[in-house]
Structure 1
């Protein structure tokens, strides 16, 4: 009888372990654990020239669009301006910003563009204009 209890207990334990191993996982749970936590943080980080604003730049411009004033600037990665660029638009009071990060590898023709800050269509137009003006 004791052997049966032990066999049942062992079987239940193995079932619970197998269930836990195959349980559904959700992205927020996975992201909070190693090694995924570090990989996720790296995906969201920007190169130093972007995050530290240490690029080659043009003078910023005050512009008006949609009845509002903005400050627009453009910079690029030092020694690699042809492949790594960032345009930024600031609200007139400087409390909000939006960006357009454009990158490509040396062997590609087209840029991969990443819009930052969820701009409306007016601000997105300013970002695209800044990019175009700096890539004649």
Structure 2
């Protein structure tokens, strides 16, 4: 009987707990998965690493032209310096992405921007492209 009362008491305690709070890492991962799925449905010519698992990290919010953009960086596992993507979510919830591929040459270690190619998703205008440039500048290794 004591065991039954103990189990019932524990069930009541657990039922009252709020498990809805998520950690920032969990929220970032959920945002990443959502962004990748929405982009993948729009763009068929994406690299395979974007459709599979990616490494994510939130960047600082960027304010430009009266708009605030939340930025998240995604990268190819074990190759973040050469293949990565930045996704911006505007204050009107419109998403834009920029996929960056850096050519695998020795000089790219010092000046990756010279060896980079860019693919834009979501038809960003020139202002949004400037926000991408600002997001890139948050990376201390980007020159």
TM-score normalised according to structure 2 size: 0.55
Larger gyration radius, structure 1 or structure 2: 1
Q: CA deviation at 1:61?
A: 3.0
Aligned residues: 92
Distance 2:50 2:78 in 1: 14
Residue in 2 aligned with 1:133? 138
Distance 1:81 1:64 in 2: 25
> Which ranges of 4 or more aligned residues in structure 1 deviate by more than 4 Å?
none
The answer (yes or no) to whether the contact 1:104–1:111 under 8 Å persists in 2 is yes
The answer (yes or no) to whether the contact 2:62–2:135 under 8 Å persists in 1 is no
Residue in 2 aligned with 1:118? 123
Q: CA deviation at 1:86?
A: 0.5
- Unmatched segments (≥5 aa) in structure 1: 1-42
For the aligned residue pairs, the C-alpha RMSD in angstroms reads: 2.3
Residue in 2 aligned with 1:81? 80
Q: Secondary structure at the match of 1:128?
A: helix
TM-score normalised according to structure 1 size: 0.57
- Unmatched segments (≥5 aa) in structure 2: 1-42, 109-114
Residues 92-130 of structure 1: CA deviation (Å, up to 9, x unaligned)? 142x11111111342373011112222122211111221
The answer (yes or no) to whether the contact 1:74–1:131 under 8 Å persists in 2 is no
The answer (yes or no) to whether the contact 2:101–2:118 under 8 Å persists in 1 is yes
Are 1:103 and 2:105 matched, yes or no? no
After superposition, residues 63-74 of structure 1 pair within 5 angstroms as: 63-74=62-73
Q: Secondary structure at the match of 2:135?
A: helix
The answer (yes or no) to whether the contact 2:76–2:83 under 8 Å persists in 1 is yes
The answer (yes or no) to whether the contact 1:75–1:87 under 8 Å persists in 2 is yes
